[in-house]
Amino acid sequence: MQIKRMGHVAISVKDLEQAAQFYQNLGMALVWKDADWAYLKAGEDGLALLSPQYSQAGPHFGFIFDDRAEVEAAYNRLHSEGVHITPIHEHRDGTASFYGRDLDGNWFEYLYEPAPVDEPAPVASAV
């Protein structure tokens, strides 16, 4: 099992709109916004904003994997060791993840993040 990197921290916010604007004003780029959460990035580092309506997990930190099979293997291993984890969830953006709790009750996320697909280069026309 090879964690690629620590990818994001997720925090609870009272007002999703205001918080997203605040962090954009600090220089972060808004990547995704839904009714109950938003995701911003600064380079490769992410910040997830969780509204009071977000129900998947509480504040947490996320570890990124670039191999889906490693996430599944980690899920099976942690499950067999009795670690509190949620089922693997398929996300609409092609990622997949599960949440777990550490020994002190802190939430963490194991997230499969596929490599970005490069746009094909434009074909030059003959003149």
- Per-residue pLDDT tens over the stretch 48-98: 999 999 988 889 999 999 899 999 999 999 999 999 999 999 887 788 999
5-112: what CATH class? alpha beta
Domain ranges in the chain are 5-112
SS (H, E, C) 37-89: EEEEEECCEEEEEECCCCCCCCCEEEEEECCHHHHHHHHHHHHHCCCCECCCE
pTM reported for the whole predicted model: 0.78
Q: What is the DSSP string of 95-127?
A: -EEEEEE-TTS-EEEEEE-PPPPPPPPPPPPP-
What is the model's pLDDT at position 91? 82
